[in-house]
Amino acid sequence: MTSRPHGPHTPHPRYVGRRALLTRTAAASLLAVPALGALTSCASGGSSGGTKDVGRVEPTADNPLGAHPDGDLEVVIFDGGFGDQYALDAEKLYEQRFGSVTHVKTQEIQSRLQPRMVKGDPPDVVDNSGAEAMDIAALIRNDQVHDLTELLDAPSLDDPDVTVRETLQPGTVEMGQFGTQAVYRLNYAYHVYGQWYSRTALDRLDAEYPRTWDEMIAVCEKAKRAGMAGWTYAGMYPYYFNFTLYPFIAKIGGADVLRAIDNLEPNAWRHEAVRAAFEAYHELTARGYVLEGSSGLSHEESQDEWCAGRALFHPNGSWVENEAARNTPADFDMAVGPPTSLDASDAMPFETIWAAPGEPFFVPADAANVAGGMEFLRIMLGRESARNFTRLVSSLTCVRDSVDGMDLPPGLTSANEVLAAAGENLITVRLPDWYRQLNNEEIGGAIAAMMAGDIDPGEAITRCQRAADAAAADDSLQHFEHI
């Protein structure tokens, strides 16, 4: 990232013009936002009498990680928007050369696996996703996660002259690092975050996708006159708004504004780019462009409202096409656009997006079959498994160029085009996984209160900075910085 010419709290004159135009009115009171609950600290890692280690064999060209040929494997998959068929198919490939696989699917990752992690008897591979995902930072702090560097440096499944690392999309390795060169997790899906919409709905309004905030207001006003809300969102999980709000902040003030926020730097949330972004988003509420009741909706409920044509935009990630498929009209023509820019004075171009790998997998340090767990991930990173994942769940993977030549559905086609248009203008945000509770509850809660009209942008910023300062001063948290 480039160096920041202005401090994280220094006003810049270019924000004043657009910001001065924003008007605010009172809106409905905030509905209670259920807490997601952060994982409590786990016990220290290290074997404590769990399943017997199956060991390794001498590595070969076909088995570079030395996975035991008779080594059984236990794989736990989060049963969410991606389902689990992609994992079942990869497990069949594993069983062709190694032992049998015990497959578990669940949405209760934390409650089912935390006791096993503490006991030292974890599964061999964990898809650590969903609202009950375990706090990976806490697990790393307690030496409960295996370093995947040897997997990344191993020959790839399809070409022995190319390492696994060399097959990955930008940001994949970095998202697995937590302040060190070690890589503790593999984020398999490649998410494109942005303003998801229906091309059909825009066409019916005779409107173009808004590139500036003035254009956004005009489109939302047009939708309102047609009896349609401009936006809806998952108010029960308000961090969904961050999928567009974070890259919006970066567009306005530069990527280093988000870097300062990630690093918990003093006054990072008081940067004028943050204030400009918060005031723009608050304008959506002030003008009545947010679907009534959104603050109490789950992610699925808000997606259903959006697919039913009651709202134009939904802040989301590229998993939404698969997750909302059952209620998506055949003529919906789903698409995603970059977060709308503030104005022409933004520090980064309109095409800038937040795109990063998600759906995190890790191999527990105390797993009975560590080598087998890594070999399973190597299989998933092969072209056959990657293309199968995309075919099944309408999502890109972290495997570079794996969708070349594939016939993709509308939303994924759009996501791939937006990703290509962004080029190097990609934003990576680490706050959600470095400080899960801070991002999801404190920051998310402040944004939820602002979007419900319960507080103004100034108070939301104060709450965000206060929460970030508390996290920075909390010695019980492991703190990270960009390397």
Right CATH for 73-187+361-395 from 3.20.20.60, 3.40.190.10, 3.40.50.620, 3.30.2010.10: 3.40.190.10
CATH 3.40.190.10-classified regions of the chain: 13-18+191-354+429-473, 73-187+361-395
CB burial of residue 309 (10 Å; 0-12, 13-18, 19+): middle
pLDDT of 295-353, one tens digit each? 999 999 999 999 999 999 999 999 899 889 999 999 999 999 999 999 999 999 999 99
> What are the phi and psi torsion angles at 105 (to 5°)?
-120, 140
State which amino acid sits at residue 184.
Y
Q: Is residue 130 very low, low, confident or very high in pLDDT (cuts 50, 70, 90)?
A: confident
- Distance between CA 194 and CA 415 in Å, rounded? 9
- Distance between CA 66 and CA 373 in Å, rounded? 11
Structure tokens at 180: 């060190």
Q: Are 386 and 86 in contact (CB under 8 A)?
A: no
- Distance between CA 258 and CA 430 in Å, rounded? 9
The least confident of 39-48, 117-126, 363-372 is 39-48
pLDDT of 56-112, one tens digit each? 999 999 999 999 999 999 999 999 878 999 999 999 999 999 999 999 999 999 999
Residues making up the chain, counted from first to last: 483
State which amino acid sits at residue 475.
D
pLDDT given at position 137:
86
Q: Are 398 and 172 in contact (CB under 8 A)?
A: yes
Q: Fold for domain 13-18+191-354+429-473? A: D-Maltodextrin-Binding Protein; domain 2 (3.40.190)
DSSP string covering 77-108, please? EE-STT-SHHHHHHHHHHHTTS--EEEEEES-
Does residue 363 surpass a pLDDT of 90? Answer: yes
Structure tokens at 160: 């022995």
Assign residue 353 a region: left if phi > 0, alpha if psi is -120 to 50, beta otherwise? beta
pLDDT of 376-431, one tens digit each? 999 999 999 999 999 998 889 999 999 999 999 999 999 999 999 999 999 989 99
pLDDT of 200-254, one tens digit each? 999 999 999 999 999 999 999 999 999 999 999 999 988 898 999 999 999 999 9
Instruction: Determine the average pLDDT of the residues in 361-372.
Output: 98
pLDDT given at position 51:
53
> What are the phi and psi torsion angles at 25 (to 5°)?
-135, 165
Does residue 355 surpass a pLDDT of 60? Answer: yes
